[in-house]
């Protein structure tokens, strides 16, 4: 098959569509929608990275507070996710406008979002300027999942998640997608 050069804008796809909560010095919480959310270290300690432009209101809150929560929405929350990414928290209470519920976190100041089935509390351990974004490295200090997502052993059942994905590259103009079906198990070749 012939290869054709394309624009490398956002070359990795899809990415999770996540809702990141932060909090202002006066205690007012904020939400930003990000597609730039990823694992940096899986253990000892787990570290979740987010990348955000300096010009945003949320960037300033992250620098000020030093903590954030990664809230993983479901497909049902697509309208709220899109809305939170379309207005500024400087002028809008996104929790009120989009019908989301703040819940106190166990270890950080920013709240969890009750409607998101998975919430990851992070404390910033480093920031690095990379191109047009700053990379925030957040050590995971607590993680939460809705009870109905768990199996008898306390593991999250992937078929119960219904995660929302973001695709904005390769000619797509910004689209939300759901995941398809399970195709197989990772590392199956090792088990043979």
Q: Has residue 75 been placed in a domain?
A: yes
Residue 182, pLDDT above cutoff 90: no
Question: Under a CB-based contact definition with an 8 Å cutoff, are residues 66 and 116 in contact?
Answer: no
Torsion of the alpha carbons at 60, 89, 103 and 121, rounded to the nearest 10: -30
Average pLDDT over residues 88-109: 97
- For the segment 145-149, the average pLDDT, to the nearest whole number, is 96
Span 129-133, mean pLDDT?
Answer: 95
Q: Assess whether pLDDT exceeds 90 at residue 14.
A: no
Please tell me the predicted confidence (pLDDT) of residue 87: 96
CATH number at residue 84: 2.30.110.10
Q: Which domain holds residue 125?
A: 15-148+158-180
Per-residue H/E/C for 168-189: CCCCCCCEEEECCCCCCCCCHH
Give me 51's structure tokens: 């990348």
3 occurs within a structural domain: no
Q: Is the pLDDT of residue 71 over 90?
A: yes
Q: Residue 170 pLDDT > 70, yes or no?
A: no
Q: Express as a percent the part of the chain with pLDDT over 70.
A: 97
Is 74 in a helix, a strand, or coil? strand
pTM of the predicted protein model: 0.93
Q: Which residues contact 129 (CB under 8 A, 6 or more apart)?
A: 135
Task: Return the pLDDT at 167.
Answer: 86
171, pLDDT greater than 70: no
In a domain, 28, yes or no: yes
Closest residue by Cα to residue 36 from 54, 53, 58, 24: 53
User: Is 70 exceeded by the pLDDT of residue 66?
Assistant: yes
Taking residues 110-137, report their average pLDDT. Answer: 97
In a domain, 86, yes or no: yes
CA distance 91 to 96: 12
Total structural domains in the chain?
Answer: 1
Q: Where are the beta strands (DSSP E) in the chain?
A: 15-16, 18-23, 29-34, 37-41, 47-52, 67-72, 102-103, 112-113, 118-130, 133-145, 164-167, 175-178
- Confirm whether 187 is domain-assigned: no
């Amino acid at each position: 098959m012939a290869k054709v050069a394309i624009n490398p804008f956002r070359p990795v796809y899809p990415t999770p569509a996540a809702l990141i909560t932060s909090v202002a010095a006066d205690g007012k919480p904020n939400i930003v929608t990000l597609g730039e959310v990823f694992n940096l270290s899986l253990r000892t300690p787990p570290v979740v990275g987010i990348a955000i432009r300096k010009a945003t209101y949320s960037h300033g809150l992250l620098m000020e507070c030093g903590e954030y929560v990664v809230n993983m929405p479901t497909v049902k929350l697509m309208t709220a996710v899109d809305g939170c990414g379309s207005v500024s928290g400087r002028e809008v209470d996104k929790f009120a406008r989009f019908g989301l519920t703040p819940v106190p976190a166990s270890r950080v100041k920013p709240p969890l979002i009750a409607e998101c089935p998975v919430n990851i509390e992070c404390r910033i351990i480093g920031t690095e300027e990379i191109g047009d974004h700053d990379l925030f490295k957040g050590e995971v200090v607590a993680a939460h999942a809705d009870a109905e997502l768990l199996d008898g052993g306390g593991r999250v059942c992937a078929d119960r998640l219904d995660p929302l994905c973001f695709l904005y590259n390769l000619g797509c103009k910004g689209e939300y997608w759901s995941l398809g079906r399970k195709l197989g198990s990772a590392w199956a070749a090792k088990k043979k």
